[in-house]
Amino acid sequence: MVLRLVDSLKAGLGLKPAECAGLPPAPGAKKQTLWKAALSGGITGGIEICITYPTEFVKTVQQIRSKDKMSIGQIVRGTLNSQGVFGLYRGLSCLVVFSIPKAAVRFGSKDFFDTHFFTTKSTFNTFVSGGLAGCCEALIAVTPMETLKTKLIDDKLQPKEQQKYRGLIHGIRTIYAEQGFGGVYRGPVPTVMKQGSNQAIRFVVYEKLKKMIDEAMPSAPFSLRTALAGAMAGATSVIANNPIDVVKSKMQGIHGKQYSGVIDCLGKILKNEGVRGFYAGTVPRMARVTADVAITFTLFENIRSLMDRFFP
């Protein structure tokens, strides 16, 4: 539905698929300015997270409660029975607040690195600039976002009389009062590792697949081509770095203090849960990330195209 809407809007404004250059820009195309990349990314991030959040909720529950080995159905049914539909959106406010700057930093910094440091297009340059963009978003927005989201979800899983946080603002105040800055900024190392590898893989795979799909399906709608390339790029990143995502979730949960660092957390997961423990939450994360990246790249490309038309 989202893809049909953006294609209809483009058609109404007289934009043709050829005018919507994918990443990287077509030869001779005007370079995207930093502010337009950042603003397009910010709008994209806010829309995307509202669409895909329930899968993020289920993934996080499976990871922080991996010892319980709860299935997707058990988590969904249990949440619906105890909290209703809105229970699946526990922690959404945190991600909405942070997803806008997260996506803005990602695409803005990627544009900055491509413009100033990696001006020659190559797979290596795309991998490095994408990785650096992921590190920037991790340090600025993703670490506090993931810490707060994980704690809010983890808190909601506790018995009702033990729950401490009434919402995002109350949660931030309480966590900061009890644990200081570290309480709202937990696990920066695994988060940087996760986001850096995420974006390095996604930008490379997206660009390569987008080119192949464009050649194989030249008459297909532009949004379909970007969505297919984005979905496959997202799936690739999940397969590659799910273990570090599990480590990040465990370190950022309510009981994260039991881990002295990344190595300690890795060792305890391996000892207590085996190799399978590193792939907890893979299915819901795969569902969430494939949809996330497909929607993100598609919306970003189309919003950027519209902004180029109105702000040439």
With the C-alpha atoms ordered 83, 97, 300, 232, is the resulting torsion angle positive or negative? negative
Instruction: Please say whether the beta carbons of 226 and 217 come within 8 A.
Output: no
Which residues lie closer than 8 Å to 18 by C-beta, 6 or more apart? none
- Helices marked H in 217-278: 222-252, 262-273
Question: Which candidate, 310, 247, 260, 288, places its Cα nearest to that of 56?
Answer: 288
Cα gap 60→250, rounded to integer Å:
9
CATH number of 30-305: 1.50.40.10
Cα gap 308→302, rounded to integer Å:
10
What's residue 136's pLDDT? Answer: 92
Cα gap 151→195, rounded to integer Å:
19
Residue-wise burial string across 104-133, b where 16 or more C-beta atoms lie within 10 A, e elsewhere:
bbbbbbbbbbbeeebeeeeeebbbbbbbbb
Annotated domain spans of the chain: 30-305
**Which tokens hold the place of 124?**
């290596």
Question: Which candidate, 42, 58, 54, 51, places its Cα nearest to that of 99?
Answer: 42
Give pLDDT tens digits along the chain (312 positions): 544 544 554 454 444 443 333 344 443 344 447 777 777 777 887 787 777 888 878 877 877 776 677 788 888 888 888 878 877 887 777 777 777 788 888 888 888 898 889 888 889 999 999 999 999 989 988 888 888 877 877 777 777 777 788 777 888 888 888 888 877 888 788 888 888 988 999 999 999 999 999 999 888 888 889 899 999 999 998 888 888 888 888 887 777 778 888 888 888 888 888 888 888 888 888 888 888 888 888 888 888 888 778 777
What's residue 17's pLDDT? Answer: 41
The DSSP symbol for 253 reads S
Instruction: Please say whether the beta carbons of 204 and 127 come within 8 A.
Output: yes
The DSSP symbol for 140 reads I
